Amino acid sequence: MPTYFEEIGYQGLKEFSGYVQEAFAKELYWPSCSPLYSRMRRSDPEISVVRNVFSALARAQSFYWELPDNPSGGDKAAQEFAETVLDDLDGGVSTLLEDMVANVPFMGWGWWEVLPGYRNPAWKPPGGDEWRSQYKDRKVGIRRLAWRDTSSFYKWEFADNGKLKGMWQWAFPKPSVLLPIENSLHLVFGDAHNPEGLSPLEAVWRLERIKYGLEVVQGIGFEHAAGYLDIKVEQTPTPSDLTMIKTAARAIMSAQEGNYAVWPANVTGELKDVPFAAAPAILDAIKYFGILKLTVFNMQWVALSATSGSGSFAAMNDSSSMFVMTYNAMMEGFAHQLDEQLGKRLFKWNEFPGMTKRPTLKIDPVNKLSLTELAAILAPLKNVLPMGDEDMIAIRKQTGFLPDTLPEEETGAEEPEPDALDQQPSEDKDGEGMPGEGDMPDDAESRAGMMQQSLLRYKAWAAKHDPRAFAELETKIK
C-alpha cells in the first residue's frame, strides 16, 4: 500500500485528555467557561439585544430542499420525502431554528441527538415516546432533534488522528454518557476545525469586564458626589454629644424623605455638595464599550442615534445592510452543516429509484430591500432582462404585503365600451362599433381617415380597460 494513502500529520488542535485549550484565557476553557458564557448570553444588555434580533429574524425563515438541474422523477420524489421529514419533526423546524440562533453564535457550538422515526402511525418509539408519524410510506425519518445543553458538556471523545468521535455528557445527578457523532447533530460557529467553534463572547468577555469596572467606578463616584457633612464643635463634646452627632449625621446622609437632625448645644452642621467632574467622560467610555460589544456581532447600528446619541440614517442603513449580509452567511453555514450531517444520513437510510443526486438543504435568506430600493433595481432591468412568473412571485414576496401567487388571468376579452370618442351610433354590419369591410369607402383618403378614427377609439378603450394591450399597441405604432 503506497504511503500517500496514509494520514501522517495531526490536526494540531490543543487538546489533552478530551479537553480543548485554544482560548486565550484559562477562564474561557470548556467546561469551566459555561457559567460565564451563559451569564453574558442571558443577562448582558447588549448581548440580549443581539440574541433577540437573531431570534426575530429566524422566525421569518424556513428551510427548503433544492433539486439538481434537470431533475428526474426519483429526484422529485426524494425532495417531496425530505420536505415531509421537516413537517414530521417534533416541535417543528421553528424549534430547531430558535435553539440554533439562541445558542450556537454565542456558545460557539451546539449539540443535538438525532432520533430516527419509522414513518408508520402504528409504530411506537422506544421509551414511551408519544411521537407518531403522520405519514404511511414506511420510510425512516426523524422524529426529534433533541437539544443537549452545553452546560451538560463533560469532555470530548477524539480518535487517534484528532477526528471527533463524540461528546461525553454529564447532567448531574445522572451518570455520564457518550453521545456518538454518527447519532448526533453537531453545529459549530467561527472555527470549523474546533469542536468548540470560536465564540464571539470570547472577544466580548474582555469588553464586558472593562465596562463593568467603569460602571462600578461611576457608581462610587455618584455616591461620593452626593456630598458630605461638615460639622463644627465649639467645645469638647461629651459622649452623649458624640452619640447624638452620629445619629443626626446618619439621618441627614441617608437616602430617605423627611430627614432631620437635632444637634447638641455648641454644634453646627452643613451639608456640602461635591461636583462629579469625571461623570460625563466615564459615561462616554461605558457607551463606547457597549457599542464595541455590539460591533463584535456587526450590530453597532442598534446604538446609532440611541445609545451613542449621534449617527445618521445613511450610516445606520449601511451598517444594518452589512449585518444582514453576515447574518445570512451565518445561516447558510448552519444550513450547510445540517445538510452535510442530516441530509446525507437521511438518504443513506432511504433509497429512491431513479434519483440522480440527492436534494440539498437550503435556507431562505433575510432580504433588506425597501420598495424604493427594489424599484431602483428593477427599473433599468425591465427592458434588458425578461421576467417570468417566478420573477414576479419573488418580487411580490419582497414587498412583504402582496400575496405570493399571481392573479389568475381573465379568460376571454371584454367587449369595448363606448366612450367620449364613440358617441355616434354605428351603422356597420358587425355591430361592434368598428367599421366592417362593406362600410369601407372607395376613396383611399376617406378609407385612411376612417381607419385612423377606429384606431383612436380602440386606443381609448385599451387605455381604460386593458393597459397591457394599450402598451403593446403603443409599441407597434412606434
Q: What is the CA radius of gyration of the chain?
A: 37
Q: What is the dihedral of CA 23, 27, 30, 36, to 10 degrees?
A: -120
Q: Could you write out the DSSP letters of every residue in 304-345?
A: TTTTSS---HHHHHHHHHHHHHHHHHHHHHHHHHHIIIIIHH
As a whole number of angstroms, the distance between CA 334 and CA 99 comes to: 12
- Whether residues 453 and 474 fall in one domain: yes
**What value does the mean pLDDT take over residues 266-272?**
78
As a whole number of angstroms, the distance between CA 324 and CA 301 comes to: 11
As a whole number of angstroms, the distance between CA 210 and CA 212 comes to: 5
CB neighbours of 169 closer than 8 A, spacing ≥ 6? 148, 152, 153, 154, 176, 177, 178, 179
- Whether residues 62 and 88 fall in one domain: yes
Going by pLDDT thresholds of 50, 70 and 90, the confidence category of residue 458 is low
| pLDDT at site 422 | 47
Residue 438 within any structural domain of the chain: yes
- Whether residues 209 and 254 fall in one domain: no
Residue 428 within any structural domain of the chain: yes
Q: 347-403 pLDDT, tens per residue?
A: 999 999 999 999 999 999 988 655 565 566 666 666 667 777 777 777 666 665 566
Number of domains into which the chain is organized: 4
**What is the grid cell recorded at 142?**
426523524
Which of 238, 257, 272 is the C-terminal boundary of a domain? 272
The whole domain housing 417 covers 409-478
Residue 325 within any structural domain of the chain: no
Count of C-beta atoms within a 10 Å radius of residue 281: 11
Phi, psi at 228, each rounded to 5°: -140, 165
Where is 269: in which H helix or E strand?
Answer: strand 267-272
Closest of 293, 328, 321, 335 to residue 106, by C-alpha: 293
383-395 CB burial, b ≥16 within 10 A, e <16: eeeeeeeeeeeee
Q: 37-79 pLDDT, tens per residue?
A: 999 999 999 999 999 999 999 998 999 999 999 999 999 999 9
Which of 183, 199, 215 is the C-terminal boundary of a domain? 199
Residue 217 within any structural domain of the chain: yes
Phi, psi at 131, each rounded to 5°: -65, 140
Query: Could you give the 3-state DSSP secondary structure of residue 196?
Result: coil
Residue 53 within any structural domain of the chain: yes
148-162 CB burial, b ≥16 within 10 A, e <16: bebebbbbbbbeeee
Q: 414-427 pLDDT, tens per residue?
A: 555 554 444 444 44
Q: How far is CA 26 from CA 5, 29, 415, 447, in A?
A: 38, 6, 82, 97
Going by pLDDT thresholds of 50, 70 and 90, the confidence category of residue 261 is confident
DSSP summary character for residue 275 = -
- Whether residues 210 and 116 fall in one domain: no
CB neighbours of 4 closer than 8 A, spacing ≥ 6? none
As a whole number of angstroms, the distance between CA 388 and CA 215 comes to: 58
As a whole number of angstroms, the distance between CA 286 and CA 284 comes to: 5
Going by pLDDT thresholds of 50, 70 and 90, the confidence category of residue 19 is very high
- Whether residues 166 and 255 fall in one domain: no
- Whether residues 20 and 37 fall in one domain: yes
- Whether residues 292 and 160 fall in one domain: no
Q: Are 34 and 23 in contact (CB under 8 A)?
A: no
- Size of the chain in residues: 478
- Whether residues 45 and 103 fall in one domain: yes
Residue 59 within any structural domain of the chain: yes
Residue 306 within any structural domain of the chain: no
As a whole number of angstroms, the distance between CA 395 and CA 63 comes to: 20
Query: Could you give the 3-state DSSP secondary structure of residue 6?
Result: coil
Cis before 31? omega within 30: yes
What's the predicted TM-score (pTM) here? 0.72
CB neighbours of 313 closer than 8 A, spacing ≥ 6? none
- Whether residues 287 and 235 fall in one domain: no
- Whether residues 58 and 158 fall in one domain: yes
Q: 85-95 pLDDT, tens per residue?
A: 999 999 899 99
Residue 478 within any structural domain of the chain: yes
Q: 306-341 pLDDT, tens per residue?
A: 666 555 555 556 678 889 999 999 999 999 999 999
- Whether residues 149 and 222 fall in one domain: no
Please report, in angstroms and rounded to a whole number, the separation of the first and last CA atoms in the chain.
Answer: 76
- Whether residues 136 and 240 fall in one domain: no
